Amino acid sequence: MPENVRIYRVFIASPSGLESERKVFRETLSEWNDMVCLDQGIAFYPIGWEDTLPGKGRPQSLINVDVKKCDFMILMLWDRWGTPPDSGGNYTSGTEEEFSIATDEIADSDAPMRDIVVFFKGVEPRQISDPGEQLSKVLQFKLQLQDDRSLYYGAFDTAEEFGKYVQQQLWKWFKELENRDDDHKPPPSGGGPLLPRTSDGTLAAPTYEREHDATDIIDEAERLSDEGNLVEAEAKFASAILRRVTPRSFVQYGNFLRREGRLDQASVMFNEAERIATEMGDTESLADVYRYQGALQETRGDVDAAEELLRKSLVIEEKLGRLEHVADAYGNLGIFLMNRGDLDGAETMHRRALDIDEKLGRLEGVAADQVNLGIVMQTRGDLDGAEAMHRKALEIHQKLDRLEGMAEVYGNLGTILTIRGDLVGAGKMHRKSLEINEKLGRLENAAANYDSLGIVLQTLGNLDGAEAMHRKALGIYENLGRLASIGSAYGNLGNVMLTRGDNDGAEAMYRKSLKINEKRGWQEGIATAYGNLGIAIGKRDDLDAAETMHRKALEINEKVGSLLGMATNYANIGNVMQKRDDFDNAEAMYRKALEINEKLGRLEGMATVYGNLVGIMKSRGNIDGAEAMCRKSLEISKKNGMLHLSASQYGNLGSLFELRHQVGEARKMWAKSCDLYEQLGLSHEVEKLQGWIDSLPDSDELPKND
């Protein structure tokens, strides 16, 4: 243990009713200190009203003195706001006064308070629908935080879950403190104003309207959720399941909770929907329940359970003979199998769906099936087939004047053009999609367009422009409260920073992404974040830590059966081993990645791994073998219009010819590479290649060493 340990005080503020969570808070800090902090010279010490010593004067004032001594505050609220600390005072509860003191302290540069986080415990739907005075004040406070976006806030359903979130927050604070050279607190994040009050100084409470049609309430809740008004949306969902007990009410509420990352409570809603549907003999609703339960299990990473539920939904639809729904069920299974990397199975499902929709003359369904098939083909590297499918779908959407469908296809075409290296064309497609989505007010889709444009700009080398696009997307996702997309946006920002050479900034972004995906329990997202962290850590040559991250990602992808993820992980581990000059094990990893890509028929992945093997052969002095790998990669990339990969392989061929002293061939290959990079608009690559060309002697052959 270090001789000098810095102690940071964390104040826990809450009304009564959260005693179990307060106990978990103290236990979590104690365990965290034992495992991590004390060895690093940093400890977190819990403080609460229980620790305030008795004395003369107003009791709340004594507690406030302890608040002012603290470095951090965690505020917890459930279904109670609390009671005024004294009659005739300015505050409606002691908790509110503690929060007010903390916000003042965080804005004071001389005060120790560094950060405030707020957690809300989930309440029963009946309470949300008819909240009463105490819960109304809590909900109004949550509304304020949602609107202000000035403080981080999250939700939990159990004391155990709260403990995990506290642990994640301690890790965040620990990393911030560890990375600072001094002991000054960072710029205040801002606590926001106190709750709005009426003219007589009392707390203003939200209004909840009585509605009679549960279907209308659900539709309104969905609209509010899409707009990012999550507090009001949850109130509407809660009202709907109390107004009329139907499977649909519980399913829609559960899906809302699933999107918010509250998986345990979502599971409760889905199970209740299943019970009601079973008791009512409502097999149609039961098929919907199984579909949503499958989506929940996939989010949790239990892919076997997810597939079983999706197939149960399909069996019911087939028995009912509802062909339109059967087609939808095939489509859902196809998307699931695609995510697992079973491209053959995915294609089979989507073609079955397409066959049914074509027989029914259901044009909208046909277009959706064509889009899904296009995505499968794109993943395989069959860009011509993918583009053909998307253009067929676009033709249908244009015929039906379906702007939403047109926007989706334009975005997909933009992605294909990005892979091909037609970055100007890709930008035009993504902007067409963006224009439609903004016109329709589809904010989440517009944010996805900004992310896609960011990727295009990053490929072009415009890193400032790329970062601006990703931050626009992130702002929209945060306003809408879309956790999954927020995690992806952090990952995209990390990629930009990594390209810029800001490894610390990239790692910080990847860890934010990891934290969100862990909160959601989204296993594939966690694996992606680990893989990104492995790349960032590898850049600073901490190869052991980098390999650990890649193997964590591999373990998850093996568990969830994601072949695509496994192939990526094997290639990344191969890169680490190659940097260690462990060429035999590096080649073994690359061959594993190649085997998976060949099994999937994924041409882009095959071409990339062939390129990786070039370096192995070259390091061993096997120039002929390196050239063979290079030409295999080039054959695939040229055939499929992958300009960036083709440019890279022409560059590799030039380097191999230079090693053989074949100056003329080296010049020719580098010139081809230079031309392609010029087409892509990558001026920095053009400049590098031109420098190589200029360094070659005028004669076509270099003198060989004796």
What whole-number distance in Å separates Cα of residue 94 and Cα of residue 105? 17
The predicted pLDDT at position 668 comes to: 94
603 pLDDT above the threshold of 90: no
**CA–centroid distance for 20 within its chain:** 31
Q: What does the pLDDT average to over 19-23?
A: 92
392 pLDDT above the threshold of 50: yes
Letter string b/e over residues 393-402, b meaning 16 or more CB atoms within 10 A of that residue's CB = bbebbeeeeb
The DSSP letter of residue 691 is: H
* Confidence band for 238, pLDDT divided at 50, 70 and 90: confident
* Confidence band for 700, pLDDT divided at 50, 70 and 90: low
195 pLDDT above the threshold of 70: no
Percent of the chain surpassing pLDDT 90 = 45
Smallest CA-to-CA distance from 237 within 264, 261, 275, 266 is with 266
What whole-number distance in Å separates Cα of residue 120 and Cα of residue 75? 9
Mean pLDDT of the chain: 84
* Confidence band for 180, pLDDT divided at 50, 70 and 90: low
- How many helices (H) and strands (E) the chain has is answered by 32, 5
Give a three-class secondary structure readout of 206-236. Answer: CCCCCCCCHHHHHHHHHHHHHCCCHHHHHHH
List the structure tokens of 384: 């011509």
The predicted pLDDT at position 703 comes to: 52
93 pLDDT above the threshold of 60: yes
**Helix, strand or coil, per DSSP, at residue 324:** helix
The predicted pLDDT at position 363 comes to: 96
637 pLDDT above the threshold of 50: yes
272 pLDDT above the threshold of 50: yes
The predicted pLDDT at position 58 comes to: 61
* Confidence band for 56, pLDDT divided at 50, 70 and 90: low
Percent of the chain surpassing pLDDT 70 = 89
Is the pTM here over 0.75, yes or no? Answer: no
The predicted pLDDT at position 1 comes to: 46
29 pLDDT above the threshold of 80: yes
The predicted pLDDT at position 669 comes to: 95
- Name the residue with tokens 């992310």: 451
What whole-number distance in Å separates Cα of residue 415 and Cα of residue 423? 9
The predicted pLDDT at position 657 comes to: 94
* Confidence band for 168, pLDDT divided at 50, 70 and 90: confident
* Confidence band for 129, pLDDT divided at 50, 70 and 90: low
What whole-number distance in Å separates Cα of residue 677 and Cα of residue 670? 10
> Of 178-187, 200-209, 301-310, which gets the smallest average pLDDT?
200-209
Query: What is the H or E stretch that residue 13 is in?
Result: strand 6-13
Q: What does the pLDDT average to over 250-265?
A: 83
Instruction: Say if residues 214 and 240 touch (Cβ distance below 8 Å).
Output: yes
Q: What does the pLDDT average to over 625-636?
A: 93
* Confidence band for 571, pLDDT divided at 50, 70 and 90: very high
704 pLDDT above the threshold of 70: no
When comparing pLDDT for 278 and 521, which is higher? 278
Q: What does the pLDDT average to over 634-650?
A: 86
The predicted pLDDT at position 52 comes to: 66
The predicted pLDDT at position 214 comes to: 65
What whole-number distance in Å separates Cα of residue 543 and Cα of residue 534? 9
The predicted pLDDT at position 243 comes to: 64
The predicted pLDDT at position 380 comes to: 78
200 pLDDT above the threshold of 60: no
Q: What does the pLDDT average to over 173-192?
A: 55
When comparing pLDDT for 207 and 9, which is higher? 9
- What is the CB-side half-sphere exposure of residue 336 using CA atoms within 13 A? 28
What whole-number distance in Å separates Cα of residue 491 and Cα of residue 508? 10
The predicted pLDDT at position 435 comes to: 96
Largest CA distance in the chain: 98
